[in-house]
Amino acid sequence: MLSSIVAPVSTSSGESMKGSGKSILPPDYVPTGMHLESRDLRLENGMRVLLTPMSQTNSVGISVFVRAGSRYEKTDGESGLSHFLEHLCFKGTRDRPNPIDISRELDELGGAFNAVTDREITIFYGKMTADRALQGLTLLIDLLRNSLLEADEIERERGVILEELAAIEDSPPELVAVNLEASIWHGQPHGREIAGTVESVSNMTHQDIKKYYRRQYVPNSIVISVAGALDVGATENIVRELCEDWGAGVPDEYIPHRSSDDVSEDTAFSLSAERRFRLISRDTEQAHLAIGMPGLSLKDTKRHSLEIFSIVLGEGMSSRLFTRLREELGLCYDIHSGPSFLSDTGMFGIYSGVDPQNTSKALEEIVAEIDRTIQSLGEFEIDLAKRIINSRLILRLEDSRAVSSYVGLQAVLGLEMLQPEELLARIESVSVLDIQRTANELIDPGKFHLSLIGPMNGSELLNQFASF
């Protein structure tokens, strides 16, 4: 019999909030959740389990991470295998053979459950009231450990995934980003579309899927992170009961990143403007553009400088790009920037939708504004960006599912386990000079990649792009 994982309810009344001066905060206010006390367990089969109690919540968040993603897919024929398998895990287990019953049980839990596949991990997650957490945890573990992978369900999901791929093809904002990533990470697994291709998904066999499942869905490739209103000791006992007899496997490691120089025998072509330029001519009302470059890894300490720079440059309505291209010049409706970090590489991108007639001018202004931002960074903008990062993190840490993700993600990616206050301290220590140095080292117009979709003249834009 599995016991409850709900933590005992506190009976303390607490003190009422008292304002001080112009602030509504109490004098001794400290944001809740800024220090996380997690139980870090390592089962004999290699599974890692992190249990994080949160005193001021009535919910439990569960994140189960599997080292399975596009970076583990060895060939073009395996492209999309991780994503295909994520779908199938909801389609029947030994104890729950009917997928309709699984859907009904998920609904009855009354929370939010889903899964997502990325380049380095697949995440199965849920958030529910504390009294339903035991059932939710049991269900998620069952989906991963005991999936049937029936042939008829494979064929049904194949059709669903092919529709997903068609939807991406029909969505210029998504497709332009996919093409940018494919250009930056040319010839590498993390440069492929995560959902695969029509060819790879159509040809994937039952045996291919089962072989990959047995390879990657093993306890020493899994991290379970539970956070919220939970009794740590009881939760540990339950996880051990559900998982300790799950035999370890020999999962593959992700395929390492190679530099551009290593990908192509013709280095000159590898770095040429023609190689870095991708245009899909399509009769759209709006031209969609994405410009980007190789970035920094999760383990690079300079990534905090890049995060701050991105906020100043292109995140929010007060950012440099938004102010210049939309408010002053009226060249676009939306424009934003953002970094992407992987274990050993990364990218930095800028995305916008513009009138096709304004594409050339928008490109010119984006490149010019990047340079102006680097050269004229001010303390006020940097302080504002730091406050934005601080606020984002504080708000995230109020959510049990977000806390389970924050803790578990560091573990599954082999990162340094940082307390939230440690992370914020590192961000606070970043100076204007740090940001300028990082941006100058990273951002080289000769390394830009450009992806476009719309009714544009490709030769004129390529010539312009080659001149950057």
pLDDT in tens, 175-219: 999 999 999 999 999 999 999 999 999 999 999 999 999 999 999
pLDDT reported for residue 24: 74
Same structural domain, 278 and 216: no
- Reduced 3-state DSSP string for 378-422: CHHHHHHHHHHHHHHHHHHCCCHHHHHHHHHHHHHCCCCCCCHHH
Q: Tell me what the pLDDT averaged over the chain comes to.
A: 92
Q: What is residue 106's three-state secondary structure?
A: helix
pLDDT digits (tens, 9 = 90+) for 158-168: 999 999 999 99
Tokens read off for 168: 């991406």
**Bridge-partner residues for 242, per DSSP?**
none
132: how many CB neighbours lie within 10 A of its CB? 18
Query: Can you tell me the mean pLDDT for 26-55?
Result: 88
Predicted local distance difference test score (pLDDT) of residue 260:
61
Give 87's pLDDT tier (boundaries 50, 70, 90). Answer: very high
Mean pLDDT confidence for 238-254: 97
319 pLDDT higher than 90: yes
Residues 143/85, Cβ–Cβ less than 8 Å: no
How much is the average pLDDT of 264-293? Answer: 84
Give the pLDDT of residue 234.
Answer: 95
Residues 8-36, mean pLDDT to the nearest whole number: 58
Instruction: Please check whether residue 7 lies inside any domain of the structure.
Output: no
d(CA 403, CA 405): 5
Q: Which residues, at least 6 apart from 230, have a Cβ–Cβ distance to it below 8 Å?
A: 5, 6, 7, 51, 53, 60, 130, 133
Q: What confidence score (pLDDT) does residue 397 get?
A: 93
Q: What is the pLDDT of residue 12?
A: 41
393-415 pLDDT, tens digit per residue, is: 999 999 999 999 999 999 999 99
**82 & 198 share domain:** yes
Q: Is the pLDDT reported for residue 2 higher than 60?
A: no
Instruction: Please name the helix (run of DSSP H) or strand (run of DSSP E) that holds residue 269, with its range, or none.
Output: helix 267-270
Q: Answer whether 360's CB lies under 8 Å from 316's CB.
A: no
3-state secondary structure of 229: coil
pLDDT at 310: 98
Q: Is 440 helix (H, G, I), strand (E, B) or coil?
A: helix
Average pLDDT for 419-436:
96
Asked if pLDDT for residue 263 goes beyond 70, the answer is: no
- Residue 4: inside a domain, yes or no? no
pLDDT of residue 265: 47
Q: Give me the pLDDT at residue 203, please.
A: 98
Residues 415 and 271 placed together within one structural domain of the fold: yes
In a domain, 25, yes or no: no
What is the CB neighbour count within 10 angstroms for residue 441?
11
Q: In this structure, are 210 and 345 located in the same domain?
A: no
Residue 264 has pLDDT above 60, yes or no: no
The mean pLDDT value for 241-258 works out to: 96
Q: Give the helix/strand (H/E) hosting 305.
A: helix 303-314
pLDDT at residue 269, as a whole number: 47
Q: How many CB atoms lie within 10 A of CB 285?
A: 9
* Among candidate residues 182, 208, 243, the one where a domain is terminated: 243
pTM over 0.95: no
Residue 396 lies in a domain: yes
Clarify whether residues 195 and 302 are in a common domain.
Answer: no
Structural domain contains residue 335: yes
pLDDT for residue 10 is more than 50: no
pLDDT at 29: 65
Q: Is the pLDDT of residue 8 over 70?
A: no
Residue 148: domain span:
39-243
pLDDT value at position 259? Answer: 77
Secondary element (H or E) of residue 466: helix 458-466
Q: Do residue 333 and residue 401 come from a single domain?
A: yes
Contact residues for 298 (Cβ-Cβ < 8 A; gap 6+): 341, 342, 343, 346, 413, 415
Regarding whether 352 and 288 lie in a shared domain, the answer is yes
Strand (E) or helix (H) holding 361: helix 359-375
Query: Percent of the chain beyond pLDDT 70?
Result: 91
Q: Does 214 share its domain with 289?
A: no
Does the pLDDT value for residue 98 go beyond 80? yes
Whether the per-residue pLDDT at 13 is higher than 50: the answer is no
Tokens of 390: 């601080």
Domain boundary among 243, 276, 293: 243
Report which of 51, 47, 170, 65 is spatially closest to residue 121, judged by C-alpha positions: 65
Q: Per-residue confidence at 246, pLDDT binned at 50, 70, 90? A: very high
Q: Which residue is listed with tokens 């560091």?
A: 410
Question: What does the pLDDT look like over 125-151, one tens digit per residue?
Answer: 999 999 999 999 999 999 999 999 999
For residue 6, what pLDDT band results from cuts at 50, 70 and 90? low
Residue 57: which CATH number?
3.30.830.10
Neighbours of 96 (CB within 10 A): 20
State residue 14's pLDDT score. 40
pLDDT tens, position by position, 341-363:
999 999 999 999 999 999 999 99
